[in-house]
Structure 1
Amino acid sequence: MGITVGFDLDMTLIDPRPGMVAAMNALGKKSGLPFDGEAFAANLGPPLDQALRDFGAPEDRIPELIWQFRELYPETVVPSTVALPGAAEALEAVRAAGGRTLVVTGKYGPNAQMHLDALGMKVDDLVGELWSTQKAAALLEHGARAYVGDHLGDVRGARAANAVSVGVATGPCTREELAAEGADVVFDSLVEFPEWFARTFVETAV
């Protein structure tokens, strides 16, 4: 049986930033709160409730705000989201080797699934609403040998699960930051993933 590889979603497999800007700005306008869509989209990764707290949202309004954001999401974010370079090829490289693909994301699971469906990305398992070291629980449960992500939190999750940490500098963190956090390998994009995966996991198993 091939290995299981986990992937983050936002800014690892997909780029939802234009829609995220629009959705957060719309939420700010609707709620009368000072939300900054550009700032939100520039640091995707942490869960929505944390982002809302960082913007100064009152604690008692956060459940309502989350519900309103999720209501906006399907029509505001999903249609404008695109796959990042190499994403489809990275998933296919794992499948072609007889492995399993797992998405572990801080995003609300049904929204994450909408993105995968809209872009025709097939994965074996999806786990949502986990962030940073919380991701280790899903990685361990599914036996993931590697985890691929763009954020320092993804590196921490991989390391907490004793998985190979693969960083991609397509999000808010630089190559140097990902390496300093402990990523075992860092790519400019997922275009580099298939060759590395074959060399690291497939050829060594022959």
Structure 2
Amino acid sequence: MRTKCPVYIVIGEAPLRRHLVSMLRSHGHVPTPFSTGTDFLEASHFLHPGIAVLDVHLPDMPGLLTLQELLSRRRDIPIIMTSTGADIRVAVQTIKKGADDFVEQPVDDQILLETIDNTALLLEERIDLQKEKIRVEIFLDRLSKREFDVLKELANHDDNYSVAKKLNLTVRSIETYRSRIMRKCGTSKFADAVSMCRGYIS
């Protein structure tokens, strides 16, 4: 793994949980153990972005339910599901429910390490996406309602004249708003502002 990463071990079986914590720590990871899905979900609001190793069978609630609850709260914690005696149907079901990978128990340490390394790439992508989302939200919050309306209409490929007519403004006013939007976005090209906000305005 290129950088140390938080790994959340959500497994009810104490011996396995302790082993994975020790093994991951010895390989430079930063493991945090949880014995129940409830404890993990309660802590999820405060956890740093990381990777979860989540057992299908937990003592307090189904692992798949824990998976779904986590996905509704956090998108920056990729999830590796694990289960004892799992067949292909269980693995497929967890992936369909939103897990990023699956490791069968008894856990092979090397396979888990490789899976975590691969999943870490997803984590980096999701962290980058989250940062970009925050950047876009901050930018949009800085816009006045009229600036937002102009950005939205121009993003729909309407020209200055059409947008001016639609918003009951002059073409000169549209050009002024374009300049303000670019300045607040920190770009010299209006197309860059549109590209950054694509998917956040409709």
TM range (shorter): 0.3 to 0.5
Whichever of the two has the greater Rg, that structure is: 2
Relative to the length of structure 1, the TM-score reads 0.41
Q: Using CA pairs below 8 Å that are at least 6 residues apart, which structure has the higher relative contact order?
A: 1
